[in-house]
Amino acid sequence: MRLLITGSNGLLGQKLVALLHGNPEVDLLATSRGENKLATVFPEVNFRNMDITKAEDVNRVFAEFKPTHVINTAAQTNVDICETEREAAFELNVTSVQNLVKACEQYNTHLTHVSTDFIFDGEAGPYNEDAKPNPVNYYGETKLAAEEVVQKATCPWAIARTVLVIGTAHDYGRSNIILWVKNSLEAGKTIPVVNDQLRTPTLAEDLALGCWLIAEKNATGIFNISGEELLTPYQMAHQVADHFRLDKAFIQETDGSKFVQPAKRPPRTGFIIEKAKKELGYKPHTFKESIGIIAGQLPT
């Protein structure tokens, strides 16, 4: 297998490189915009600078590497930035997918594209793969548009939908709910945490494995790849406090109406993952286990 990963500098991209870099059956090419953040961590992994919003960049790398499989992890996933910077969001989340699909069709490359629970309105979660999308923000609109591009592709394709990805990565600036709660409580800060949004949080390592299982099995169609437990952020925060033995009195229960954000959030999403469990052998960690894994990756 000749596997090309887009967005290798991001959280999921880094986890895929970590998972596959030593696999003798995989000729791996990591690609991202900008310098290779993993150059010192995995110096043996081939890397190309590739801006997937530019068709000429994509075509150049495909012509050089001729991938049999692509896992597309690159996207603008900041929901509020998508709402306020729509043109850039469309370019990264939709135009780039159009470029990848055209290249994959030319080389008959198997494409695994990563999508999101935010294509749904959150009125009837958790959702299975056949649920009808109805996004409530521009991020969800771009991700749904990208799914529609992929579903019309003439190359073999799969869509891996996921929810609230958590994890740590090398030289990665963004935080997650586990680190936010831990750092805030350690500093003695009172934190407002919502109790009226439901998600099935997903460990980044689990999502990477799910994407790999799809590619390895040449699976096609839509797969929900997430955690299995439906939790509110308030419940997640309590589990984090318990793990690190921190004072839960600083966790203030609130609801989404108290926050002013550019983008609306769907209230109840989450996924039913029976299809991925049955067809791929996918089995995610519990949220409690995920906290322990992330805790073990933190600098001491």
Structure confidence by residue, pLDDT tens digits, 54-72? 999 999 999 999 999 999 9
**Residues 104, 149: contact at Cβ < 8 Å?**
no
Output the pLDDT for position 172.
76
Look at residue 203 and tell me whether its pLDDT is greater than 80.
yes
Closest CA to 30 of 15, 13, 53: 13
Give the separation between CA 31 and CA 47, rounded to whole angstroms. 6
Give the separation between CA 124 and CA 128, rounded to whole angstroms. 10
Work out the average pLDDT over 4-9: 98
Residue type, 145: A
| Domain 2-168+201-229+270-286 is found in CATH 3.40.50.720 | yes
Structure tokens, 155 = 């190359």
**Residues 22, 63: contact at Cβ < 8 Å?**
no
Question: What integer best gives the mean pLDDT of the chain?
Answer: 97
Output the pLDDT for position 153.
98
Q: Specify the length of the chain in residues.
A: 300
User: 171 falls in which pLDDT band (50, 70, 90)?
Assistant: confident
Q: For 55-69, 131-145, 174-188, which range has the lowest pLDDT when averaged over its residues?
A: 174-188
Q: Is 224 left (phi over 0), alpha (psi -120 to 50) or beta?
A: beta
User: 173 falls in which pLDDT band (50, 70, 90)?
Assistant: confident
C-alpha dihedral, 163 to 195 to 237 to 137, nearest 10°: 30
Quickly count helices (H) and strands (E) in the chain.
11, 11
Give the separation between CA 243 and CA 182, rounded to whole angstroms. 9
Work out the average pLDDT over 217-235: 98
Share of the chain above pLDDT 90, in %: 96
Closest CA to 128 of 232, 214, 225, 12: 225
Report domain extents, the chain.
2-168+201-229+270-286
Look at residue 174 and tell me whether its pLDDT is greater than 80.
no
Output the pLDDT for position 299.
86
